[in-house]
Amino acid sequence: MVVEIDGVLLHLAHPDELKVQWVGQDDVMRQLLAAWLVIDDRDLPMNPRLVGKPGVGKTTLAYAAAQRLGREVYIMQATSDTRPEDLLITPVIEGEGMLKYVASPLVTAMIRGGIVILDEGNRMSEKSWASLAPLLDNRRYVESIVAGIKIKASPLFRLVSTMNDDSSTFDLPEYIHSRLQPQILIDFPGYDEELAILKENLPFADDEILEYVTEFLQHAHAADERYSARDGINIARFALKLQHIAKDRVQQAEALRVSILETLGEEAMRYVPRKP
């Protein structure tokens, strides 16, 4: 799709289409939807950030919330190499001496009134965040130096940034920190919710395997380990494959132990349940 802004043709990105479902933790879903709500003509949506350990479902929550609003969803992965032009508009050489301007998923969401998920936003440098400062306050626009145009966000546009709370990330500049509010914390789920997450992702797995993996994860959470439901899904999936190759249900206990060892390493074995 192509749109024209101030005489410049922009080629838009395609929305992301994922099959995801948010399981449990309804309170954080309500908080995110509330942050995006506009309650008066003079009101503005907020730009929340979802903070938690890797693998707790921050991106899943953001996508599921956007789905509830029935809007197009655009996911933009942030890295330490993300440049301002990556966030906005990138010039691409097309043909002899011809430039094509390609809008990022974020700018596409602004134009089309969609929702952008800026994934792992605190991996970006301050220079990249600075290019979004006017978008994150009441001005709600970005300015592309590359294309020489200013782009205003649709009233329907919404933004959320996910952020990992680990040491491999940048500290947010204060002027950006104050623009990305509220901070919504996502913690590890309890036993029933974590089991439901595993069942949602592995509906073909035996309950016995999923219960075993859930118990393992709960032991790890109690010890403040960073193992997540994503790790649990990988453990269960690998164990199922090992068991399938063995074609012997007696091998289930060994398959689970091998899967935990090969997925997370020797240090994870201290949390293995006594009986599978």
- pLDDT on residue 112: 97
- pLDDT on residue 21: 83
Q: pLDDT digits over 218-236, tens only? A: 999 999 998 999 999 999 9
- pLDDT on residue 248: 60
Residue 142: its H or E element:
strand 141-144
- What are the residues whose beta carbons fall under 8 Å from the beta carbon of 215, sequence distance 6 or more? 191, 273
- If you search the block for the tokens 């919404």, which residue do you land on? 158
Residue 150 burial (CB count, 10 A)? 13
Q: Which residues of 68-77 are buried (b: 16+ CB within 10 A; e: fewer)?
A: eeebbbbbbe
Query: Mean pLDDT, the chain, as a whole number?
Result: 92
Residue 249 in this model has a pLDDT that exceeds 60: no
DSSP 89-107: EEEEE-SSS-EEEEE-HHH
3-state secondary structure of 200: helix
Q: pLDDT digits over 198-216, tens only? A: 999 999 999 999 999 999 9
**What percent of the chain is modeled with pLDDT above 90?**
79
Task: Give CA–CA dist 247/258, Å, rounded.
Answer: 16
Query: 205 near 198, Cβ under 8 Å?
Result: yes
